[in-house]
Amino acid sequence: MADNIEDVIIIGGGPAGLAAAVYTSRATLKPLMFAGAPYGGQLMLTSEVENYPGIPTIVGPELIERMREQVREFGTRIMDQNVLKVDFSKKPFKITADKDYLAKSIIIATGAQALWLGLESEQKLRGKGVSACATCDGFFFKEKVVGVVGGGDSAMEEALFLTKFASKIHLIHRRDSFRASKIMQERVLNHDKIQVHWNTEILKVLGEQHVEGVSLKAEGKTSDLKLDGLFIAIGHKPDTDLFKGHIELDEKGYMLTNATSALAGKKLPAFNPKFQTGTSVEGVFAAGDNVDHVYRQAGTAVGMGIEAAIDAERWLEETAT
């Protein structure tokens, strides 16, 4: 069993967790961070980042390293380990990694992962023309021809967003109808830049150093389609399996906080509108892509991480005995 009780433990080492570490460490809470293995979240898989305020251009891994260096300077202890188990049933809270640790408060910032097609060629070209975020990478495809894979609202949104940059968008869907909302379908089907490929499966992403096209299968026939980029929009999965049964999640596995549950017309058991990042367990806060399934940007994750840190600090002050 742990010998001492931490003021705050941060679970997750991406932008949200690191932002929370900046604020909690500057508040002299001496946070202990479990950054995961591998650490850094989705930014570690991102090549050029040009939309992070104050930094004109940087590669994702370098941005994470800068953040890690900053929080270490403020006194955050970083452990590049995965948390294996949590117990939020009583205070102090207990988390288990290489051993048991106790904490007065917890900030969960485990993020989410894009779902991929599972092709070896796709993984090889991630960050080299294969992306799961049009908002992040669309700018790099001005006057280029790109593909989007998917049939839900996310795929429609990606395709429509890319029309601002690309000269042509090929929307590739394995079925004969979309599952997206009708209004999104209409916008896509009526857009002159978007061509839909129904009942079509991607067999391989073509190219060695960057995306050059895709090999397709439709109606039993195979063909190649030239592309400059490929956006995978088949969904995201929040990294929240560890917390099932411990805090309240929505039907897709995203964590419900006081802010998001209120918007959904729900009321969490530990509801306190003052702590917007609070979860169904009082003293446990959540931030980043494990909560946010709308924006999924490094900047928005940072903002939520800051909110969670301030909430945790104020909650600790209020509950101090």
HSE of 91 in the Cβ direction (CA atoms, 13 Å)?
13
Got the DSSP string for 136-167?
HHGGGGTT-EEEEE-SSHHHHHHHHHHTTT-S
Question: Which of 201, 207, 150, 139 lies closest to 177, judged by CA?
Answer: 150
Among the options 3, 87, 136, 153, which is catalytic?
Answer: 136
Q: Is 250 a catalytic residue?
A: no
Q: Measured at the alpha carbon of residue 80, what is the angle toward residues 77 and 86, in degrees to the nearest 5?
A: 85
Round to whole Å and give the CA distance between 15 and 228.
29
Which one is catalytic: 7, 133, 292, 311? 133
Under DSSP, the state recorded for 60 is H
Tokens 């990042």 locate to 277
Catalytic residue among 137, 289, 292, 311: 137
Helix, strand, coil tally for the chain in percent (to 5): 30, 30, 45
CB-based contact 223:216 (threshold 8 Å): yes
133 is an active site residue:
yes
Active-site residue list: 133, 136-137
